[in-house]
Amino acid sequence: MKLPGDISLTAAVSVWRRNMTEYGHTWMTNILPNFFDPVLYLLGMGLGLGMFVGRGVNGLSYIEFIAPGLMAASAMQGASFESTYNVFVKMNFAKLYDAYLATPAQIQDVAFGEQLWAISRGLIYGCAFFAVLLAFTAAGYRIITSPWAVLLPFAMLLTANMFALIGLTFTASIRNINYYGFYYTLWLTPLFLFSGIFFPLDNPQMAGGHAETIAWFTPLYHCVRLMRGLAQGPLDWTHGVSALWIIAVSALLAMVVPRRMRKRMVY
Amino acid sequence: MDAVVKAEGLRKNYGEFVAVDGIDFEIPRGQCFGFLGPNGAGKTTTMRMIYRASPVGGGSLKILGHEAAGGRNDRAIKQRIGVVPQEDNLDEELKLRENLEVFARFYGLGRKEAKARAAEMIAFANLGDKSESRIRELSGGMRRRALIARGLLGNPELLVLDEPTTGLDPQARLNLWDRLRDLKRREATLVLTTHYMDEAEQLCDRLVIMDKGKIVAEGRPRDLIRQHVSSHVVEIAFANAARSVSERPEMAELTTLAKRHEQHQDRLLLYVDNGEEAVAKAAHLLPDAETLIRRSTLEDVFLKITGRGLAE
């Protein structure tokens, strides 16, 4: 079966299946630790720091405020690990893509297969964290309070897909694995801190009142807004804009990634 | 002749560097076809164009009836060929069985078919007891056989092997040759590159010799030897090379026996068709020299054509 962009679904799913087989062996060391990352933030910041944020945010306690955003961060991190280091190693050190390309698979199939796998991992992280949040909600915290929360997995899918594509774009553009230092420290960490997860951005004293406008041009901001809106409401048209923002950027990158990969692998 | 691969004016440049410089060849069905040449001759680049890892730089390349230039038929071509790459790129993270099962799926095989095909190929490669081993637990020779097994998963009409025995110890090499001979008996079409002339002589029905991106000779191994050099080489080595070979007066008489001769510092090479006569004469004229007779090899052919050894 062929998808747009001359992608063979058979080949892409084969790439996905290879990764699934590997993680059958290594999930204990490879997947499990990263899952604790947002959980620790939830406990440390939400409960710990939350004790000093007495009045809460927008009528919510601090842990209730940050929880939906951490879900977005969770999906982002899952997709990012996979589309950066792991893809780089498979492509450049293990020479696995050369092996794939000797089968009927073409480079766009391989790229899409990795994208699918990165999405899967983002979804696994995001949904596991979602389950943790449901448990907190059952324990009396007002974290998941809107019926629209049933759409949260879809928001995680959008988030994981976009960050998979961003990671793949970066991976296809670098020749040295050390560049990921920049990617994580100067890209993912600032997104994590300044996308409205930990504090509202509409404060007039923040960046001269322009904080939210600046954040509007960055990707995680829209994911956080979407998650918060779906989990806790109220939803309005701006959430639709955020969803469209994510879809538009993803569509653009979906055209860039196969081209960059081809440039890298086919010569 | 039913050609599986047909190249006309095939070229490939990397910037200014001409890797393949307008070559023509035809690979007949059911044969083992070799590309012999030193490193950098353009063999691997030619292979990469055949197995569609590399775009055709220029000219025409027909593979199993599909034109490869332009890349439109890559999937169709790759579905029908198998590849054993020069670089070991087995999946280190997976077991041998998983490696083959995962790769079988790329050819469109279902789960059950893939399992069966992988098991069959593991047996063919004599790796039955290793199917649950991780790749890193396999020896160099086993890994190379595993690569052949992987290359055969799609039941290919053409198997491309790029330097299949480079880096293997002699035992593993012989073992691998056995596997390839087995494939030949099944009338598979094989194309292989090598810089070992004994390998080419042992395995190839036909071969081309490449040098600096060009094909410099083509034919059956024995024909090439007959055509370009004599059947035998007599090597005369002087233990105490006090004088250079050319200064010895006996030389002139000896060299008249040879179709061609080569003088080195302490050695004289005579390319002769009647080896025994030359040996007897040398023993008579140069009792202090050590005389050795051997069959001519493809290396002699290569040396004559290019003026250089394969190892250079």
SS3 per residue for chain B: CCEEEEEEEEEEEECCEEEEEEEEEEEECCCEEEEECCCCCCHHHHHHHHCCCCCCCEEEEEECCEECCCCCCHHHHHHHEEEECCCCCCCCCCEHHHHHHHHHHCCCCCHHHHHHHHHHHHHHCCCHHHCCCEHHHCCHHHHHHHHHHHHCCCCCCEEEEECCCCCCCHHHHHHHHHHHHHHHHCCCEEEEEECCHHHHHHHCCEEEEEECCEEEEEECHHHHHHHHCCCEEEEEEECCCCCCHHHCCHHHHHHCCCCEEEECCCEEEEEECCHHHHHHHHHHHCCCEEEEEEECCHHHHHHHHHCCCCCC
Cα distance between residue A15 and residue A17, in whole Å: 5
Q: Are B89 and A97 in contact (CB under 8 A)?
A: no
Q: Is A106 on the interface with B (CB under 8 A)?
A: yes
**Which residue numbers in chain B have pLDDT < 50?**
312
Contacts of A25 in chain B (CB under 8 A): 93-94
Q: Is A21 on the interface with B (CB under 8 A)?
A: yes
Q: What is the pLDDT at residue B312?
A: 47
Contacts of A8 in chain B (CB under 8 A): 75
Q: What is the pLDDT at residue A188?
A: 97
Q: Which residues of B117-134 are buried (b: 16+ CB within 10 A; e: fewer)?
A: bbeebbebbebeebbeeb
Which of A8, A93, A103, A108 best probes binding to B when mutated, by most B CB atoms within 10 angstroms?
A: A103
User: What domains lie within chain B, and their CATH numbers?
Assistant: 3-225 (3.40.50.300), 230-295 (3.30.70)
Q: What is the pLDDT at residue A184?
A: 95
Q: Which residues of A4-40 are buried (b: 16+ CB within 10 A; e: fewer)?
A: eeebbebbbbbbbbbbebbbeeeeeeebeebbebbbe
Count of CA atoms in the C-beta half-sphere (13 A) of B165: 22
Which of these, B163, B172, B159, B178, lies nearest to B310 by C-alpha position? Answer: B163
Q: Are A198 and A66 in contact (CB under 8 A)?
A: yes
Q: What is the pLDDT at residue B309?
A: 60
Q: Which of A22, A104, A267 sits opposite B106 (nearest CB)?
A: A104
Q: Indicate whether this model's pTM tops 0.80.
A: yes
Q: What is the pLDDT at residue B52?
A: 96
- Tell me the pLDDT of chain A (267 aa) as tens digits: 888 889 999 999 999 999 999 998 888 887 777 788 889 999 999 999 998 987 888 889 999 999 999 999 999 999 999 999 999 999 999 999 999 999 999 999 999 999 999 999 999 999 999 999 999 999 999 999 999 999 999 999 999 999 999 999 999 999 999 999 999 999 999 999 999 999 999 988 888 889 999 999 999 999 999 999 999 989 999 999 999 999 999 999 999 999 999 999 998
From residue A115, alpha-carbon distances to A15, A124, B92, B107, B297 in Å are: 10, 14, 21, 21, 52
Cα distance between residue B134 and residue B99, in whole Å: 9
State whether residue A60 is helix, strand or coil: strand
Cα distance between residue B270 and residue B213, in whole Å: 30
Residue A144 has a CB neighbour count (10 Å cut-off) of: 23
For residue A24, what are its two tokens? 């059958």
ipTM: 0.91
Which of A1, A9, A18 best probes binding to B when mutated, by most B CB atoms within 10 angstroms?
A: A18
Q: Which of A13, A98, A103 sits opposite B103 (nearest CB)?
A: A103
Which of these, B108, B53, B80, lies nearest to A98 by C-alpha position? Answer: B53
Residue A174 has a CB neighbour count (10 Å cut-off) of: 16
Contacts of B152 in chain A (CB under 8 A): none
- What is the Cα A142 distance to its own chain's centre? 24
Cα distance between residue B7 and residue B22, in whole Å: 9
Cα distance between residue B201 and residue B184, in whole Å: 14
Q: Which of A25, A98, A104 sits opposite B79 (nearest CB)?
A: A104
From residue B160, alpha-carbon distances to B8, B9, B44, B49 in Å are: 19, 20, 11, 11
Q: What is the DSSP secondary structure assignment for residue A57, as one 8-state letter?
A: B
Q: Is the peptide bond before A38 cis (omega within 30 degrees of 0)?
A: no
